[in-house]
Amino acid sequence: MTDLDRLLHEPARLVIVALLSGLKEADFLYLLRESSLTKGNLSSHLSRLEEAGYIEIEKTFRGKIPLTLVRLTKTGRAAFRDYKKAINSLLAKRTA
């Protein structure tokens, strides 16, 4: 259990990072819809991930509409990869 990244070992944040892992970037609306979190909840989790350097948030505009782009950093991708390895080895130990 000690090997697991505590920041990622929270279901909502794990969902966000897992969704972003298959993408270059996504906007707030996509993450909101796919994660089924509330706007406030999603914002707070994104802030935590940004503070840890796992994601980058870019606030921009498309025409007159505000657009919040979120992308996984190299650190974030590596952390997610390590987390998957750690959880898989834990599960393997448990089933063995």
Partner 1 sequence: MVTPDLKALAERPACYWNEDGIPELVIGALWIFYAASQLAGIGLRPGLVRTAFWIVMPLVWMVGCFYFTIWGIKRIKERVTYPRTGYVSYLTPRSAWAIGIVVSVLALAGIIILLFAGIGIRLMNLLPSVCSLLLAAFIAFLAIMLKTPRLLILSGAALVSAIGMPLLHLGENGFLWLWLWLGTVSAVTGALRLRSFLRGHPRNQGREA
**Contact (CB, 8 A) for 32 and 67:** no
Q: Which residues pair with 59 in a beta bridge?
A: 68
54 forms part of the interface with partner 1 (CB under 8 A): no
- Sites for partner 1 among residues 26-45 (CB under 8 A): 26-34, 39, 42-43
**Measured between alpha carbons, how far is 34 from 70 in angstroms, rounded to an integer?**
14
**Measured between alpha carbons, how far is 60 from 77 in angstroms, rounded to an integer?**
23
For residue 2, the minimal CB distance to partner 1 (Å) is 16
Pick between residue 10 and residue 51 the one whose CB is nearest to partner 1: 10
- Give residues in contact with partner 1 (CB under 8 A): 11, 14-15, 18-19, 21-34, 39, 42-43, 62, 65-69, 84, 87
